[in-house]
Amino acid sequence: MKFSIKLMCSIILCLIPIIAKTNHAHALSAESAILMEQESGRILFEKDAYSKKRIASITKIMTAIIAVESGKLDELVKISENAEGVEGSSLYLKAGTKVKLEDLVYGMMLRSGNDAAVAIAEHVGGSLDGFCKLMNEKAKELGMESTYFSNPHGLDDHEKHYSTAYDMALLTRYAYNNPIYKKIAGTKEYKFSSKKYGDQYWRNKNRLVTGMYQYSTGGKTGYTIRAKRTLVSTANKDGMDLIAVTLNDPHDWRDHISLFNNAFNNYEMVDIVTSQLSREKKQPFTENLYVKESIRFPLTKAEKEQLRVDLNINVNEEHIDPHEPVGNFLIKIGKKEVKSVPVFMKYVPFDMNHYID
């Protein structure tokens, strides 16, 4: 016997005072920009976020996450002549010396060492071409559809090396789920010690991390003559994690702080599905429903007043599989659908008399 149920539900929440949202797109100096909430992936602000552009050293976010995921951080890397000779920002590595891969990743992320990026690529990928293949495979896996990597550092030595603000936000959202990467990207200062190089203290070039912004949790700076200033940064306040990306932005520190503060002042993280599910489980037939993920979503005061959740269930009681969804929660703000969450049902012996008065 099949049952089809559609329950139209409103979420009524206690509203807290929130500062009115302001539109600061006109004041943002970036050519491209995006602000994304980490947990939900919701885009809170965008400006030409899907145009392909040069990205400079924020390329190293991809280099770093591949290195971290390689499982080789404890291995020693022999520095090649190719790595020693790379131009731009440098750790001043010497060919023939050996440096721990973990130290190279810290040096690349904090000091933007291009020599470290090449050494990492050659060790993890076997060659620069081999590593770039890994980078592009990962980009495809993450849905970075407008991205192509031709090197591990972002220098302007290849025409075919580009991404978008949106794609770099996707990459950062993925990378920050890795606790090792997150720790590295948010480190203010790192002590590097070796017999060859002695003791060195690498201070993060990201001024937001080193004290300019109290809610900063990490990121990566970038600059080349052709790409201009690029910046990826992350911040956390009151349980909300944000990702900001700007490309060709002469005032990136100011703009990132503005983007973060605007979101923190106007949005609140709301646990939508868990709260709604607890209400549904009090109704006949729905007490055995469950979801595999709790959905927290950033909402403004106005959006909370327009929030609606539709529960759609289509059940064949003879073939309930607890591993297959029986429906979904459809989250809407006004008439706009923003998220669909699969709903599952625990199998219990079905007694029709329980549902008939």
Instruction: Give the number of other Cβ atoms within 10 Å of residue 333's Cβ.
Output: 18
Burial of 58 (0-12, 13-18, 19+ CB in 10 A): buried
- Residue listed under structure tokens 């993450």: 142
Residue 287 backbone dihedrals phi, psi, to 5 degrees: -70, -15
Distances (CA, A) of 97 to 67, 77, 196: 19, 8, 8
Q: Is 57 a catalytic residue?
A: yes
Rounded Cα distance between 91 and 123, Å, is: 17
- Among this protein's residues, is 112 annotated catalytic? yes
Give Cα separations from 236 to 70, 191, 277 (angstroms). 28, 26, 27
Q: Which one from 40, 57, 163, 216 is the annotated catalytic residue? A: 57
Q: Is 327 exposed, middle or buried (0-12, 13-18, 19+ CB in 10 A)?
A: buried
> Is residue 278 flagged as an active site residue?
no
Q: How far apart are CA 20 and CA 66, in angstroms?
A: 41
**Quick check: 40 and 272 in contact, CB under 8 A?**
no
Catalytic residue among 32, 40, 89, 112: 112
Using a 10 angstrom Cβ sphere, with 0-12 exposed, 13-18 middle and 19 or more buried, the burial of residue 234 is: buried
Place of tokens 């971290």: 68
The CA distance from 94 to 78, in Å, is 9
Q: What value does the CA radius of gyration of the chain take, rounded to a whole number of Å?
A: 24
Residues 6+ positions from 97 with CB-CB distance below 8 Å: 78, 79, 196, 197
Q: Which of 47, 53, 60, 339 is catalytic?
A: 60
Give the residue numbers marked as catalytic: 57, 60, 112
